[in-house]
A and B are shown apart, each in its own frame.
Chain A
């Protein structure tokens, strides 16, 4: 008969193999922290475009009138998104190489599909809303769809991401209720929360 430690190792390696075949373990917490920083930078730019010279914590009652401001906002958001994705991919590629794994495999393919469905739906939905002048709903909708996307992909990622998803949804619903504070909630949801969860994941999995 084998010794107990041997059996415990067997169980542990079975569990590890099960997890590795399903979860994308190369996601680096650092990319979350950086994404949060980019989002806050983007929020500062947005503040310049929209609120200046009022305080960002004040309640906005009027809607955006200048079409050019709206275009710049969308461009800013797109830049933040591209920067976050790019950094995330680069850092994850590095981590995967360190573990001797391929970045692109069955798991990541499933992950991308699970993320893409709510995100693309949300993106199109928000663009349609912006078209018809419903500007106030854009920020809450971003948060909610992002949260749903994270939860949809949570089987393929570490558990912390699921809690981030829940937080984003709750934040998005509160933001929808307090419609004038859109930029503030956007900053909290995409900036602060990413930094917090990114830091937690970095300390748990990357060190």
Chain B
């Protein structure tokens, strides 16, 4: 989600390389995000090779922001 919120879209292989995870690991996380409608999937072909791109949805963006806000709130409270 951190990656998708900072980029217009990101494809499967670039995500795999950046996060350093296996195909299966990434796929299961993506499935969970897609089930929550936090990301959208765009499958196409580039040079006859399948290429899957992911985009964050508005719902996903809001959820991510809430998550960050919650984390920061806890940190701020513990500091007082």
Contacts and interface: CB of A to CB of B under 8 A. Distances in A.
The reply to whether chain A is a binding partner of chain B is yes
A84 B35 CA distance: 49
A10 B10 CA distance: 22
A4 to B, nearest CB: 4
Interface string A1-33: 000100110110011011111100000000000
Given A11-B68, A106-B10, A21 B3 contact: yes
Nearest to B7: A21
Nearest to A17: B2
The prevalent SS among residues of B at the interface is helix
Contacts of B2: 14-15, 17-18, 21
B11 interface: yes
A11 B72 contact: yes
B17 interface: yes
Contacts of A4: 74-75, 78-79
B18 A21 contact: yes
A18 B6 CA distance: 6
A102 interface: yes
Contacts of A7: 71, 74-75, 78
Interface residues of B, number: 18
Nearest to A4: B78
Contacts of A20: 18
B50 to A, nearest CB: 17
B14 interface: yes
Contacts of A105: 14, 17-18
B21 to A, nearest CB: 12
Contacts of A17: 2-3, 18-19
Interface string B38-80: 0000000000000000000000000000001001101100110
Interface string B4-29: 01110011001001110000000000
Contacts of A8: 75
A22 B7 contact: yes
B18 to A, nearest CB: 6
Interface of B: 2-3, 5-7, 10-11, 14, 17-19, 68, 71-72, 74-75, 78-79
6 contacts: A4-B79, A8-B75, A11-B72, A18-B3, A21-B10, A106-B10
